[in-house]
Amino acid sequence: MSKIIATGAIRGAHAIVGKAEARLKEAIDAKGPNEEVHFPNTGYYLPVIYGLTGHKIEKLADMETTLKLAKELLPEVPSESFHLPYLGETLDAGIATLFAEEMIEAIRYVIGPPPMNGLWLGAADDVIMRERGIEFVDGSAPGFAAIAGQAPDVATAVKLARELQEKSLYVFIAGADAKTGISFGDQLAEGDVQMGWETRLVAFDKDIYGHIYSLGFATRAAMAFGGVQPGDYQRILAYNKNRVFAFVLALSHVSDEDYATAAGAISYGFPTIAHTDIPQILPTGVTTYEHVVSGIGFDGIVQKAVEVRGLKVQVTEVPIPVAYGPAFEGERIRKENMYVQFGGQKSPAFELIRAKDLSEVEDNKITVVGPEIDEIEEGSAVPLAIVAEVAGRKMQEDFEPIVERQFHYFINGATGVWHMGQRDIIWVRISKDAKQAGFKFHHIGDMIRAKIMSDYGAIVDKVQVTIYTKEADVLRLVEEAREVYKQRNIRIAGMSDESVDTFYSCTLCQSFAPTHVCVISPERLGLCGAYNWLDGRAAYEISPTGGNQPVAKGAVKDAAKGRWEGVDQFVVDKSAGSIAGFNAYTMMEDPMTSCGCFECIVALVPSANGVMIVNREFSEMTPCGMKFSTLAGAVGGGQQVPGFIGIGKQFISSKKFISADGGFQRIVWMPKELKEQLKENLAQRCADIGDPDFINKIADETNAVSEEEVLEYCTKVGHPALTMESMF
Q: Which residue has the higher pLDDT, 358 or 14?
A: 14
CB neighbour list of residue 498: distance below 8 Å, 6 or more residues apart? none
CATH architecture of 498-723: 3-Layer(aba) Sandwich (3.40)
The pLDDT tens digits of the residues spanning 443-479 come to 999 999 999 998 888 888 899 999 999 999 999 999 9
Angle between helices 628-635 and 126-138 (to 10 degrees): 40
Fold of 326-493: 3.30.1650
Helix, strand and coil in the chain, % to nearest 5: 45, 15, 40
pLDDT surpassing 60 at residue 86: no
Q: What is the pLDDT of residue 316?
A: 65
Q: What is the pLDDT of residue 3?
A: 58
Q: Which residue has the higher pLDDT, 367 or 532?
A: 367
Contact 417, 429 (CB under 8 A): yes
18: confidence class by pLDDT, cuts 50, 70, 90: very high
Contact 210, 175 (CB under 8 A): yes
Cα separation, 503 vs 521, whole angstroms: 5
Edge-to-edge order in the sheet of strand 518-520:
518-520, 502-506, 550-552
Q: Would you put residue 292 in left (φ > 0), alpha (ψ -120 to 50) or beta?
A: beta
Contact 647, 586 (CB under 8 A): no
Average pLDDT over residues 721-725: 96
User: For residue 407, which of 348, 438, 447 has the smallest C-alpha distance?
Assistant: 447
Contact 24, 274 (CB under 8 A): no
Q: Which residue has the higher pLDDT, 87 or 375?
A: 375
What percentage of the chain carries pLDDT values higher than 70?
A: 97
CA atoms within 13 A on the CB side of 328: 22
pLDDT surpassing 80 at residue 277: yes
The pLDDT tens digits of the residues spanning 228-248 come to 889 999 999 999 998 889 999
CA distances from 387 to 384, 400, 448, 478, 613 (A): 10, 12, 10, 10, 39
Q: What is the pLDDT of residue 4?
A: 60
pLDDT surpassing 70 at residue 137: no
CB neighbour list of residue 475: distance below 8 Å, 6 or more residues apart? 348, 383
pLDDT surpassing 80 at residue 139: no
Domain ranges of the chain: 3-309, 326-493, 498-723
Lowest-confidence pick of 53-57, 372-376, 676-680: 676-680
Average pLDDT over residues 521-540: 86
Q: Which residue has the higher pLDDT, 529 or 649?
A: 649
- SS3 label, residue 11: helix
Q: What is the pLDDT of residue 393?
A: 83
pLDDT surpassing 70 at residue 174: yes
Cα separation, 559 vs 352, whole angstroms: 39
Cα separation, 703 vs 700, whole angstroms: 6
Q: How far apart are the first and last CA of the chain?
A: 61
Average pLDDT score over the chain: 91
The pLDDT tens digits of the residues spanning 317-344 come to 789 999 998 888 878 899 999 999 999 8
Lowest-confidence pick of 103-107, 240-244, 351-355, 719-723: 240-244
The DSSP 8-state label assigned to residue 86 in this structure reads S
Lowest-confidence pick of 8-12, 137-141, 386-390, 641-645: 137-141
Q: What is the pLDDT of residue 155?
A: 97
pLDDT surpassing 50 at residue 392: yes
Contact 254, 276 (CB under 8 A): yes
Q: Which residue has the higher pLDDT, 317 or 155?
A: 155
197: confidence class by pLDDT, cuts 50, 70, 90: very high
CATH code of the domain occupying 3-309:
3.40.50.2030
225: confidence class by pLDDT, cuts 50, 70, 90: confident
CA distances from 155 to 120, 193, 278, 298, 726 (A): 21, 11, 24, 11, 66
Average pLDDT over residues 575-598: 90
Lowest-confidence pick of 128-132, 336-340, 574-578: 128-132
pLDDT surpassing 90 at residue 509: no
What percentage of the chain carries pLDDT values higher than 90?
A: 69
Cα separation, 206 vs 257, whole angstroms: 14
Q: What is the pLDDT of residue 128?
A: 86
Contact 218, 244 (CB under 8 A): yes
pLDDT surpassing 70 at residue 119: yes
Q: What is the pLDDT of residue 1?
A: 46
Q: How long, in residues, is the chain?
A: 728
User: For residue 262, which of 274, 251, 276, 248 has the smallest C-alpha distance?
Assistant: 248
CB neighbour list of residue 521: distance below 8 Å, 6 or more residues apart? 497, 500, 503, 533, 584, 656
CB neighbour list of residue 570: distance below 8 Å, 6 or more residues apart? 505, 517, 519, 549, 551, 552
